[in-house]
């Protein structure tokens, strides 16, 4: 937002960066890697690994949580922490919100704008996957 970053943070103004590209993430963990599907990954219940998908969602949230620690919106950080806590399967605990060090340079604020937009888009994917996971077996 204008008050937070000092400029209007619009999707048209930034190049999105996938900070989860080199690790397990929602897209990789929740869709088929079958090369026959091309650019449109397929979901098939018979080969679908729910725990792997949930782990991918958790890893996405963890990566974005780490990237957004300098963002002063503690409500956003706490929400991510709650989501991670709900997904946690092991004995590890969700990270606690860290006090933001503040963003000083314009370059840092532009990167934050990009990360926030990428996270917004990823949350749509996560929401759709969670809806898919909770849907009856018959609806695909």
pLDDT at residue 84, as a whole number: 93
pLDDT at residue 1, as a whole number: 43
C-alpha span between 100 and 62 (Å, rounded): 16
Contact indicator for 45, 31 with CB cutoff of 8 Å: no
CA distances to 54, 75, 90, 108, 123 from 83, in Å: 11, 12, 14, 26, 11
Task: Report residue 53's pLDDT band, with 50, 70 and 90 as the boundaries.
Answer: very high
What is the pTM for the complete model shown? 0.75
Task: Report residue 61's pLDDT band, with 50, 70 and 90 as the boundaries.
Answer: very high
Helix (H) or strand (E) holding 133: helix 106-134
Least confident window among 23-27, 52-56, 98-102, 134-138:
98-102
Per the prediction, the chain carries an average pLDDT of 77
């Amino acid at each position: 937002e204008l008050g937070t970053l000092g400029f209007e943070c619009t999707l048209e103004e930034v190049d999105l960066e996938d900070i989860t590209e080199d690790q397990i993430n929602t897209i990789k963990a929740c869709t088929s890697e079958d090369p026959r599907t091309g650019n449109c990954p397929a979901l098939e219940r018979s080969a679908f690994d729910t725990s792997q998908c949930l782990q991918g969602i958790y890893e996405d949230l963890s990566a974005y949580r780490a990237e957004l620690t300098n963002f002063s919106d503690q409500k956003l950080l706490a929400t991510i922490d709650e989501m991670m806590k709900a997904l946690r399967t092991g004995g590890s605990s969700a990270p606690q919100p860290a006090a933001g060090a503040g963003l000083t340079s314009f370059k840092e604020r532009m990167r934050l704008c990009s990360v926030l937009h990428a996270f917004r888009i990823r949350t749509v994917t996560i929401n759709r996957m969670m809806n898919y996971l909770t849907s009856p077996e018959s609806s695909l």
